[in-house]
């Protein structure tokens, strides 16, 4: 596309020249409208006036009515008649009038209506009523037009609510067609969110507004954005020679060379200006809709809304389903208030009122200054991301500019364009859609995605995953070795500033750095080749990590464009996850540490599964060495600490029959709820058992002396000097939480091939207190030795892996058969 | 003109594309397909549940080339897609009656 195309006919050449020499489009458009006014008046006098001396008036409507006629827009006119004419002479005259207009280069788009018709609500043709909001008289029977001028305002006042509702519905449908986002790489500047139509909607809503209510003057506030958008549309029309509204890649390349673009600029930079401008328009349109819509009363809905006002707090009040600040001035002195508003949205699904959004926007500089220092922002974000309406909250964080204010690095990808054929959105929008794709899995109804939605219930921290997604492409605007590394590097700075604990930082860094691993394996590796599974297992490190990576990859692909996650890719990704999962489970028993370099820790580590090194850092290994020393001196090394709301127990002792069952029994006897556990032994027959458990009755928290008692009980259980069974009998078993129908059907799976010497038993079941003890008791009573254990519990689902032996050999088929029955009975108890 | 249709392993797509590029073939249509030949399906196990995967994921690459180049293209695709194992895929060659470039109405090999 180039600026040198011949001008179209009609009153354009002069305007074109003025536009390309830097003329202000906002000034040019009314001039074009005025010249078209003249042409229509002349044509009317010549062709219609002789036939319609009265009984017909011509009014300009739509964009022409607003006197902002773009170079190749349709020229909308209303032919107002006092009655529908069947007269042949009249029809011929009208036909000549229209034909001559087209011959003269005017794309006339007309409709013929009586005053009566104009003042009726046509449910199937809202366009007529809306276009009349912008009408103005051009020529013809002024008396007839006067009738319209008198009746129209009364009609609009009477039908205000219906018109507003219709307009809002239309606007929402239109936004929906463009996935509710301004961030399309080739945007339609008229119809897409943030386009011209949104400006019109703001104008129409102002005209439909009850005159007694005062609205913010959004259009004056958007003067710069309006001029910017008008210039783009003029350019597209002039260069294409037609009503072209899609800002395609080739037009973007050319437009940046134009004086009005402020260039020459790199395309990506100019497009970012476009997106930021479109975002402001889109936001104003949404606010205008919100303000107007909430003013409309409606029966049942109103009652429900009134009920929701009960959710109000001392600082946030709920009115008409919207959040208002009781004391908006405090945003400046208490910048965290903005985040509490977003948290309220995340919890209840209620959005801030337009006024609240505007106040937050005005307070952004103060909020940014506050969060420029190290602050515990992560606490806010973690809570927001864990709540049911997290995605709605995330959108508000982004749309209000709050996300950029609390995390300025986010602005590096705001409106940032990566131009390729696959990505449809800018990097920030892609990131949000990735988060949305993930969070939508929580309410997934699609059978094909069920495997991934189940996987989401099996990860420990959804907030960490959402946060890793927010960071995963944040380094895309930086030139570096790979964007994953740049994102991880930038992410580390952010995570330190927002005071995320080191353990979580390391995990997020890992997810960001490795977020492309599964997709690259999916596209570039032979999944049937054993080395592929081994490489994947080495990169993922643990089954827990692999779950996170699989979900991240699922969401990342889904966020590329609406059709990117095909059923084919869904299957391929699941295959990659499955082979990695199988390999990591197999490795638990088969992949052991051989660290014979003579150091004391290598002596201790020798024979542990490799997983041990992937899940423990140097400090933890050092602490385990101390526990080993205690074990050598006293028979058992026991450490019990509270970390992040849960308790962690580590036990090191020499292996003996029923050991695992005894320790688990001691914890269960205290009413503790084991959520994670690992057990494995080294070459010296020393066992390392670690447990993460919750204390549902807050026994340890409220009775500090119980901590010591539990530690000593565990110690005795580990050394075999305590009869755990007796202790458990004294404790009442809690009532079964659910009926059989509601409970997860247990899945029990044996694999004799996973290891050379042990049998893998995998159990997925509904979790309950004491479940692990019951499993361990079954193993002990059956004479099975527990070689390796990996227990995880997420959302009441126990995900347990055991490697069992009997007298140093694998379980026979018959033993498996009997064991399966007994485990099933335990699961259903 | 010949139409060459290759059904290959997904992970070989990049190598095949590179090989075609190296001999100057840039135009192609790629689609994600499922199917099996003699390879048949196989059983997969996840959490104890076995399921039969009958149709295996494959990628179909289609291109139309001048007849004189067909052999060379087939050789390039075959060499790049080969692992030597069952499931490497197949290449089909068809005669093409005509080709039309819609933009300017060019016909025959000029349209390729």
Q: Which region among A58-62, A269-273, A292-296, B66-70 has the lowest average model confidence (pLDDT)? A: A292-296
Residue in A with minimal Cα distance to B81: A526
Give the model's pLDDT for residue A691: 92
Mean pLDDT confidence for A235-258:
91
Determine phi and psi for A360, rounding to 5 degrees.
-65, -45
Residue A596, pLDDT > 90, answer no
Residue A373, pLDDT > 90, answer yes
Q: Write the burial class of residue A411 (CB in 10 Å: 0-12 exposed, 13-18 middle, 19+ buried).
A: middle
Q: A302-331 in b/e burial notation, b at 16+ Cβ within 10 A?
A: eeebeebeeeeeeebebebbbbbbeebeeb
Instruction: Please tell me the distance in Å from B62's CA to the nearest CA on chain A.
Output: 18
Q: How many CA within 13 A on the CB side of residue A749?
A: 20
The CA distance from A824 to A66, in Å, is 74
Q: Which region among A367-371, A774-778, B45-49 has the lowest average model confidence (pLDDT)? A: B45-49
Q: A231-242 in b/e burial notation, b at 16+ Cβ within 10 A?
A: bbbbbbbbbbee
Residue A29, pLDDT > 70, answer yes
Q: Which of B10, B14, B45 lies at the smallest CB-CB distance from A572?
A: B10
Residue in A with minimal Cα distance to B48: A749
- Name the token pair of A664: 């688990």
Give the SS3 label for residue A21.
coil
A283: CB partners within 8 A, 6+ apart: A357, A399, A400
Mean pLDDT confidence for A293-310:
66
Q: List CB contacts (< 8 A) between A575 and chain B.
A: 44, 57
- How many CB atoms are located within 10 Å of the residue A372 CB? 12
Residue in A with minimal Cα distance to B57: A568
Asked if residues B46 and A581 have their Cβ atoms less than 8 Å apart, the reply is yes
Query: Under an 8 A CB cutoff, do A764 and B47 touch?
Result: yes
Query: Under an 8 A CB cutoff, do A749 and B44 touch?
Result: no
3-state secondary structure A390-450: HHHHHHHHHHCCHHHHHCHHHHHCCCCCCCCCCCCECHHHHHHHHHHHHHHHHHCCCHHHH
Residue A134 banded pLDDT, cuts 50, 70, 90: very high
Q: List CB contacts (< 8 A) between A584 and chain B.
A: none
Task: Give one word for A499, left, alpha or beta, with left for phi > 0 and alpha for psi -120 to 50.
Answer: left
- The dihedral sign for the CA sequence A773, A778, A781, A782: negative
Q: List CB contacts (< 8 A) between B84 and chain A.
A: none
**Of the candidates B65, B84, B63, the residue with the CA atom closest to the CA atom of residue B12:** B84
Kindly report, residue by residue over A623-673, the tens digit of the pLDDT: 999 999 999 888 899 999 998 778 999 999 998 888 898 999 899 888 888
Residue in A with minimal Cα distance to B42: A528
Q: Write the burial class of residue B93 (CB in 10 Å: 0-12 exposed, 13-18 middle, 19+ buried).
A: middle
Asked if residues A717 and A702 have their Cβ atoms less than 8 Å apart, the reply is no
Residue A86 banded pLDDT, cuts 50, 70, 90: low
Put simply, the chain B residues between 20 and 79 with a CB less than 8 A from any chain A CB are: 32-34, 44-49, 57
Average of per-residue pLDDT values in chain B: 89
Mean pLDDT confidence for A404-410:
95
Q: List CB contacts (< 8 A) between B49 and chain A.
A: 747, 749
* Helix pair A530-540, A567-590: axis angle to 10 deg: 80
Residue in A with minimal Cα distance to B12: A524
Residue A744, pLDDT > 80, answer no
B interface mutation test: which of A521, A571, A580, A751 has the most B CBs within 10 A? A571
Give the model's pLDDT for residue A302: 60
Q: Which of A572, A578, A747 lies at the smallest CB-CB distance from B57?
A: A572
Residue A515, pLDDT > 80, answer yes
**Of the candidates A460, A494, A488, the residue with the CA atom closest to the CA atom of residue A476:** A488
Mean pLDDT confidence for A582-594:
84
- How many CB atoms are located within 10 Å of the residue A183 CB? 29
Q: Which region among A38-42, A214-218, A704-708 has the lowest average model confidence (pLDDT)? A: A214-218
Q: How many CA within 13 A on the CB side of residue A611?
A: 23
Mean pLDDT confidence for A444-467:
91
**Of the candidates A766, A774, A647, A639, the residue with the CA atom closest to the CA atom of residue A698:** A647
Residue A2, pLDDT > 50, answer no
Q: What interface predicted TM-score (ipTM) does this complex get?
A: 0.80
Give the model's pLDDT for residue A647: 92
Mean pLDDT confidence for A67-80:
91
Asked if residues B1 and B96 have their Cβ atoms less than 8 Å apart, the reply is yes
- How many CB atoms are located within 10 Å of the residue A608 CB? 21
A640: CB partners within 8 A, 6+ apart: A647, A648, A649, A650, A707, A710, A711, A714
A38: CB partners within 8 A, 6+ apart: none
Query: Under an 8 A CB cutoff, do B9 and A526 touch?
Result: yes
- How many CB atoms are located within 10 Å of the residue A477 CB? 20
Residue in B with minimal Cα distance to A532: B11
Residue A741, pLDDT > 70, answer no
Query: Under an 8 A CB cutoff, do B11 and A524 touch?
Result: yes
Q: What is the DSSP letter of A3?
A: T
Q: What is the DSSP letter of A766?
A: E
Give the model's pLDDT for residue A268: 85
The CA distance from A624 to A612, in Å, is 11
Query: Under an 8 A CB cutoff, do B11 and A575 touch?
Result: no
Asked if residues A200 and A127 have their Cβ atoms less than 8 Å apart, the reply is no
Query: Under an 8 A CB cutoff, do B32 and A524 touch?
Result: no
Q: Which of A522, A566, A578 lies at the smallest CB-CB distance from B46?
A: A578
Domains, chain B? 2-111 (3.30.70.120)
Residue A435 banded pLDDT, cuts 50, 70, 90: very high
Q: List CB contacts (< 8 A) between A762 and chain B.
A: 47-48
Instruction: Please tell me the distance in Å from B52's CA to the nearest CA on chain A.
Output: 13
Task: Give one word for B50, left, alpha or beta, with left for phi > 0 and alpha for psi -120 to 50.
Answer: beta
Determine phi and psi for A780, rounding to 5 degrees.
-65, -45
Query: Under an 8 A CB cutoff, do A523 and B46 touch?
Result: no
The CA distance from A325 to A593, in Å, is 59
Over the Cα atoms of chain B, what is R_g? 17
B interface mutation test: which of A527, A528, A759 has the most B CBs within 10 A? A528
- Name the token pair of A684: 């010296």
Residue A69, pLDDT > 60, answer yes
**Of the candidates A426, A405, A362, the residue with the CA atom closest to the CA atom of residue A193:** A426
Q: Which of A522, A524, A571 lies at the smallest CB-CB distance from B14?
A: A524
Asked if residues A39 and A104 have their Cβ atoms less than 8 Å apart, the reply is yes
Mean pLDDT confidence for A455-478:
93
Residue A507 banded pLDDT, cuts 50, 70, 90: very high
Q: What is the DSSP letter of A809?
A: B
Give the model's pLDDT for residue A467: 98
The CA distance from A40 to A46, in Å, is 10
Q: List CB contacts (< 8 A) between A750 and chain B.
A: 48
Q: Which of A524, A571, A747 lies at the smallest CB-CB distance from B47?
A: A747
Residue in B with minimal Cα distance to A525: B11
Q: List CB contacts (< 8 A) between A524 and chain B.
A: 11, 14
Mean pLDDT confidence for A806-829:
91
Give the model's pLDDT for residue A194: 96
Q: Which region among A130-134, A490-494, A679-683 has the lowest average model confidence (pLDDT)? A: A679-683
Contacts 24+ apart (CB under 8 A), A408-414: A408/A368, A408/A372, A409/A474, A409/A490, A409/A493, A409/A494, A410/A470, A410/A474, A412/A474, A412/A477, A412/A478, A412/A490, A413/A473, A413/A474, A413/A476, A413/A477, A414/A272, A414/A275, A414/A276
Average of per-residue pLDDT values in chain A: 88
Query: Under an 8 A CB cutoff, do B45 and A525 touch?
Result: no
Query: Under an 8 A CB cutoff, do B48 and A747 touch?
Result: yes
Asked if residues A673 and A696 have their Cβ atoms less than 8 Å apart, the reply is yes
The CA distance from A234 to A241, in Å, is 10
* Helix pair A390-399, A427-440: axis angle to 10 deg: 170
Mean pLDDT confidence for A738-751:
74
A interface mutation test: which of B10, B31, B56, B88 has the most A CBs within 10 A? B10
Task: For Cα atoms A732, A733, A735, give the angle at the middle one, nearest 5 degrees.
Answer: 120
Kindly report, residue by residue over A174-203, the tens digit of the pLDDT: 999 998 889 888 999 999 999 999 999 999
Task: Give one word for A447, left, alpha or beta, with left for phi > 0 and alpha for psi -120 to 50.
Answer: alpha
Domains, chain A? 13-158 (3.30.460.10), 165-296 (1.20.120), 434-588 (no CATH), 601-732+741-827 (no CATH)
Q: List CB contacts (< 8 A) between A523 and chain B.
A: 10-11, 13-14
Residue in A with minimal Cα distance to B14: A524
Is B10's Cβ below 8 Å from some Cβ in A?
A: yes
Kindly report, residue by residue over B22-78, the tens digit of the pLDDT: 999 988 999 999 887 766 666 766 666 666 677 888 999 999 999 999 999 999 999
Query: Under an 8 A CB cutoff, do B44 and A575 touch?
Result: yes
Mean pLDDT confidence for A74-79:
92
Q: Which chain A residues touch B if contact means CB-CB below 8 Å?
A: 522-528, 566, 568-569, 571-572, 575, 578, 581-582, 747-750, 762, 764
Query: Under an 8 A CB cutoff, do A523 and B14 touch?
Result: yes
Q: Is the peptide bond before A29 cis (omega within 30 degrees of 0)?
A: no
Determine phi and psi for A94, rounding to 5 degrees.
-65, -45
Query: Under an 8 A CB cutoff, do A747 and B87 touch?
Result: no
Give the model's pLDDT for residue B51: 67
In sequence order, the β-bridge partners of residue B91 are B6
């Amino acid at each position: 596309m180039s600026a040198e195309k011949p001008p179209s006919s009609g009153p354009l050449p002069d305007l074109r020249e003025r536009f390309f020499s830097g003329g202000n489009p906002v000034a040019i458009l009314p001039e074009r409208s005025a010249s078209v006014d003249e042409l229509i008046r002349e044509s009317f006098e010549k062709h219609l006036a002789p036939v319609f001396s009265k009984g017909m008036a011509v009014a300009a409507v739509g964009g022409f009515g607003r006197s902002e006629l773009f170079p190749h827009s349709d020229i909308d006119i209303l032919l107002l008649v006092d009655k529908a004419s069947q007269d042949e002479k009249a029809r011929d005259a009208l036909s000549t009038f229209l034909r001559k207009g087209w011959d003269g280069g005017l794309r006339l788009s007309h409709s013929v209506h009586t005053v009566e018709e104009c003042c009726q609500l046509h449910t199937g043709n809202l366009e007529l009523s809306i276009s009349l909001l912008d009408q103005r008289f051009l020529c013809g029977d002024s008396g007839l037009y006067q009738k319209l001028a008198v009746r129209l305002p009364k009609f609009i006042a009477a039908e205000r609510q219906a018109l507003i509702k219709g307009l809002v519905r239309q606007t929402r449908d239109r936004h929906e067609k463009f996935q509710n986002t301004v961030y399309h790489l080739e945007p339609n500047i008229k119809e897409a969110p943030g386009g011209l139509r949104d400006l019109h909607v703001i104008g129409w809503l102002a005209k439909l507004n009850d005159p007694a209510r005062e609205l913010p003057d959004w259009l004056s506030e958007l003067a710069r954005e309006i001029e910017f958008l008008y210039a783009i549309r003029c350019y597209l029309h002039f260069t294409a020679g037609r009503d072209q509204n899609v800002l395609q890649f080739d037009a973007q390349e050319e437009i940046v060379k134009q004086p009005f673009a402020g260039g020459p600029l790199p395309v990506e930079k100019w497009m970012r200006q476009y997106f930021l401008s479109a975002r402001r328009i889109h936001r104003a349109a949404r606010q205008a809709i919100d303000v107007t819509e909430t003013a409309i009363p409606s029966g049942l809905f109103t009652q429900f809304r009134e009920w929701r006002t009960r959710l109000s707090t001392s600082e946030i009040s709920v009115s008409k389903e919207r959040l208002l600040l009781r004391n908006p001035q405090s945003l400046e002195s208490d910048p965290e208030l903005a985040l509490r508003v977003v948290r309220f949205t995340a919890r209840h699904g209620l959005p801030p009122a337009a006024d609240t959004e505007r106040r937050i926007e005005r307070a952004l500089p103060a909020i940014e200054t506050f969060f420029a220092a190290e602050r515990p922002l992560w606490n806010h974000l973690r809570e927001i991301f864990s709540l049911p309406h997290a995605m709605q909250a995330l959108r508000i964080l982004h749309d209000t500019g709050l996300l950029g204010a609390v995390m300025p690095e986010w602005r590096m990808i705001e409106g940032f364009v990566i131009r390729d054929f696959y990505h449809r959105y800018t990097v920030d929008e892609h990131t949000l859609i990735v988060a949305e794709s993930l969070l939508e899995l929580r309410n997934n109804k699609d059978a094909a995605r069920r495997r991934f939605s189940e996987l989401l219930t099996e990860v420990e921290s959804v907030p960490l995953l959402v946060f890793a997604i927010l960071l995963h492409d944040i380094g895309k605007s930086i030139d570096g070795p790979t964007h994953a590394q740049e994102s991880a590097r930038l992410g580390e700075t952010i995570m330190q500033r927002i005071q995320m604990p080191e353990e979580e930082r390391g995990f997020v860094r890992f997810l960001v750095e490795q977020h492309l691993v599964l997709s690259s394996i999916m596209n570039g590796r032979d999944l049937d080749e054993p080395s592929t599974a081994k490489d994947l297992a080495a990169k993922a490190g643990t089954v827990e990590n692999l779950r996170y990576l699989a979900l991240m990859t699922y969401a990342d692909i889904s966020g590329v464009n609406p059709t990117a996650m095909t059923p084919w890719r869904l299957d391929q990704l699941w295959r990659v996850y499955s082979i990695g999962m199988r390999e990591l489970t197999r490795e638990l028993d088969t992949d052991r540490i051989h660290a014979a370099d003579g150091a004391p820790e290598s002596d201790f580590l020798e024979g542990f599964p490799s997983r041990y090194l992937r899940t423990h850092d140097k400090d933890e290994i050092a602490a385990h060495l101390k526990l080993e020393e205690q074990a050598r001196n006293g028979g058992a090394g026991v450490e019990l600490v509270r970390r992040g709301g849960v308790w962690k127990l580590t036990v090191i002792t020499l292996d003996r029959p029923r050991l695992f069952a005894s320790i688990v029994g001691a914890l269960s006897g205290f009413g503790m709820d084991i959520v994670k556990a690992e057990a494995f032994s080294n070459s010296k027959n020393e066992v390392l058992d670690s447990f993460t458990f919750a204390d549902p009755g807050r026994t340890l928290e409220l009775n500090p002396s119980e901590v010591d008692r539990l530690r000593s009980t565990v110690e005795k259980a580990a050394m075999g000097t305590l009869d755990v069974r007796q202790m458990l009998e004294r404790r009442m078993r809690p009532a079964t939480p659910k009926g059989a129908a509601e409970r997860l059907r247990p899945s029990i799976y044996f694999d004799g091939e996973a290891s050379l010497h042990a049998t893998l038993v995998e159990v997925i079941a509904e979790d309950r207190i004491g479940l692990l003890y019951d499993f361990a008791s079954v193993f002990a009573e059956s004479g099975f030795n527990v070689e390796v254990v990996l227990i995880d519990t997420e959302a009441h689902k126990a995900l347990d892996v055991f490697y069992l032996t009997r007298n140093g050999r694998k379980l026979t088929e018959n033993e498996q058969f009997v064991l399966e029955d007994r485990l099933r009975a335990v699961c259903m108890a | 003109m010949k139409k060459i249709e290759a059904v290959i392993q997904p992970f070989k797509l990049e190598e095949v594309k590179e090989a075609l590029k190296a001999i100057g073939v840039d135009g192609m249509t790629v689609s994600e397909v499922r199917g099996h030949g003699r390879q048949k399906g196989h059983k997969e196990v996840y959490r104890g549940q076995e399921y039969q995967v009958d149709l295996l994921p494959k990628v179909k690459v289609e291109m139309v080339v001048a007849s004189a180049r067909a052999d060379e293209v087939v050789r390039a695709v075959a060499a790049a897609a080969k692992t030597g194992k069952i499931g490497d895929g197949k290449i089909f060659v068809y005669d093409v009656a005509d080709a039309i470039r819609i933009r300017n109405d060019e016909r025959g090999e000029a349209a390729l």
